[in-house]
Amino acid sequence: MPDPMLNEEERMLQNLVRDFADREMAPRAREVDEKEEFDQQNWQGMARLGITGISIAPQYGGSGGGYRQLAIAAEEIARGDAAASTGLIAHLSLGTTTIYRFGNEEQKQRFIPSLASGRGVAAWALTEPGGGSDAAALQTSAVQRDGTWFLNGSKMFITNADVAESMVVFATQDREQGYKGISAFVVPRGAPGMQVNPMHGKMGMRASSTSEVVFQDTPVPAENLLGEEGRGFRYAMEVLDSSRITIAAQCVGIGQAALEEAVRYAQQRESFGRPIAQHQAIQFMLADMAAAVHAARTTTMQAATLKDEGRPFINEASIAKLIASEMCVNVTSQAVQVHGGYGYFKDAPVERLFRDARVTTIYEGTSQVQRLLIARQTLAQYPV
Ligand SMILES: Cc1cc2nc3c(=O)[nH]c(=O)nc-3n(C[C@H](O)[C@H](O)[C@H](O)COP(=O)(O)OP(=O)(O)OC[C@H]3O[C@@H](n4cnc5c(N)ncnc54)[C@H](O)[C@@H]3O)c2cc1C
């Protein structure tokens, strides 16, 4: 059923991406999950549709959309193959967006056209082995010698790192200064002293690649410093604020896929002489799932609309990420329940959706971190 909240152009985009995801991604989702690596075929397909630069202006090789378009595309890609949407989000709403928002004109011309067109992939490296939630405590150092920066330290759980053409890396010039000592750099593929160690054994999102990245005296030219020295932490937080909208959209896509699988199965499977969809207990489960997906989608699109209109959106983005990620963990679990024993085996797509969903309450700010942010805003809204 067409979504009444989308305009004609947005509906065309939704149909285009859904058709691609149904034809080319969903049928291969199980196979790429088992391979456990970045899938080039999915990537090339997204690049052909212009999705790899959907929120980037045409003058830098993008499609010129906003966060509503990005959210629509992220939901449909996630509905077809959640892991592909993880790669897309790390590339576009984290890596490429940081350069797009905070790079100077020369940097944007140098890096973005290749990334937006999908010829190159971006990665974004903030988290370290010592912690992700407390990002201001990062330890990777940046020291300037003779006009060149040298990075030392390591990053953990970095999506796309093994295939990235450009990686945005956050490092500190002075740990004593806390978040004020952090700057952002673009590190090109194959930089000397940079070692990318792919990490295997993820529970879900297995067709997205995740790596540890180690820097040993890695030289970064002065012209690859993004924005101003000492403002990198603020850039990272601003980019995360808006990227949460795309993670929320990803969760809606996973929830929608689980709901569709559950509805289909409930109409085919029989118990006590009738399809299980005729048992009220199953109907109530499907109703709860449909209502939760709908509420998460509405909240996500509201945050995207506020962002596109230049209105305050940060609290709404955190609320959308919290609601949508917890929805997606619950809805995929309910979808497994509707499938009974068959839902526990790999032949059922809900088995993969259940595993893929789990990370969404962890990355780009855990549910606990979202609650901290929402609580801060809520307390400020109602001062005594
Ligand atoms: C598949 C995957 C892909 C990822 N991709 C990227 C990427 O591309 N780039 C990148 O930079 N990072 C990436 N990450 C890292 C991710 O963002 C972090 O895992 C996340 O921020 C949590 O950090 P942590 O794992 O160090 O957990 P910790 O920060 O150690 O947290 C552990 C637990 O303590 C809780 N906690 C921490 N502090 C508080 C507090 N103050 N109050 C209450 N509870 C608290 C957390 O909510 C969590 O439950 C990825 C992670 C995964 C799993």
Which one has a higher pLDDT value, 4 or 222?
Answer: 222
- 243 three-state secondary structure: helix
Any catalytic annotation for residue 106? no
- Token pair, residue 47, equals 């690049």
Residue ranges of alpha helices (H) inside the chain are 8-20, 29-35, 40-48, 67-80, 82-89, 97-102, 105-117, 232-268, 280-308, 314-338, 349-357, 367-381
For residue 367, which atom of ligand 1 is closest to its CA?
A: 47
Average pLDDT over residues 149-178: 97
Average pLDDT over residues 339-361: 98
Question: Which of 127, 128, 358, 369 to probe ligand 1 with, by most ligand atoms within 8 A of CB?
Answer: 127
User: 0.85 cut: is pTM over it?
Assistant: yes
Predicted confidence at residue 3, as pLDDT, reads: 76
Residue 68 has pLDDT above 60, yes or no: yes
- Token pair, residue 120, equals 């190159």
307-332: per-residue pLDDT in tens? 999 999 999 999 999 999 999 999 99
From CA 349, how far away is CA 338, in angstroms rounded?
Answer: 13
Tell me which amino acid residue 345 is.
Answer: F
Predicted confidence at residue 2, as pLDDT, reads: 57
Predicted confidence at residue 1, as pLDDT, reads: 53
From CA 277, how far away is CA 281, in angstroms rounded?
Answer: 9
256-300: per-residue pLDDT in tens? 999 999 999 999 999 999 999 999 999 999 999 999 999 999 999
Phi, psi of 211 (to 5 degrees): -140, 160
Which one has a higher pLDDT value, 382 or 265?
Answer: 265
Cα–ligand 1 centroid distance for 210 (angstroms): 14
Q: Which residues line ligand 1 (CB under 6 A)?
A: 90, 124-127, 131-133, 157-159, 202, 205, 210, 359, 362-364, 366, 368-369, 372
CA distances from 40 to 36, 46, 146, 160, 207 (A): 12, 10, 39, 11, 10
Nearest Cα residue to 193 out of 175, 173, 220, 166? 220
From CA 92, how far away is CA 163, in angstroms rounded?
Answer: 14
Question: Which of 133, 162, 246, 325 to probe ligand 1 with, by most ligand atoms within 8 A of CB?
Answer: 133
Q: Are 194 and 187 in contact (CB under 8 A)?
A: yes
Predicted confidence at residue 307, as pLDDT, reads: 98
Cα–ligand 1 centroid distance for 244 (angstroms): 14
Cα–ligand 1 centroid distance for 292 (angstroms): 25
Marked catalytic residue, from 75, 261, 326, 364: 364
Predicted confidence at residue 4, as pLDDT, reads: 81
From CA 201, how far away is CA 38, in angstroms rounded?
Answer: 14
Task: Report DSSP letters for 10-47, one per residue.
Answer: HHHHHHHHHHHIIIIIGGGHHHHHHHTS--HHHHHHHH
Question: Which of 134, 362, 364 to probe ligand 1 with, by most ligand atoms within 8 A of CB?
Answer: 362
Residue 129 has pLDDT above 60, yes or no: yes
From CA 224, how far away is CA 169, in angstroms rounded?
Answer: 10
For residue 128, which atom of ligand 1 is closest to its CA?
A: 26
| Ligand 1 atom 43, closest CA | 368
212-262: per-residue pLDDT in tens? 999 999 999 999 999 999 999 999 999 999 999 999 999 999 999 999 999
Q: Domains of the chain (ranges plus CATH)? A: 8-121 (1.10.540.10), 123-230 (2.40.110.10), 234-381 (1.20.140.10)
Task: Report DSSP letters for 327-375, one per residue.
Answer: HHHHHHHHHHHHTGGGGGSTTSHHHHHHHHHGGGGTSSS-HHHHHHHHH
| Ligand 1 atom 45, closest CA | 368
pLDDT class of 82 with cuts at 50, 70, 90: very high
Cα–ligand 1 centroid distance for 266 (angstroms): 36
- The CA angle 240-132-231, to the nearest 5 degrees, is 50
| Ligand 1 atom 41, closest CA | 369
Across the chain, what does the average pLDDT equal? 97
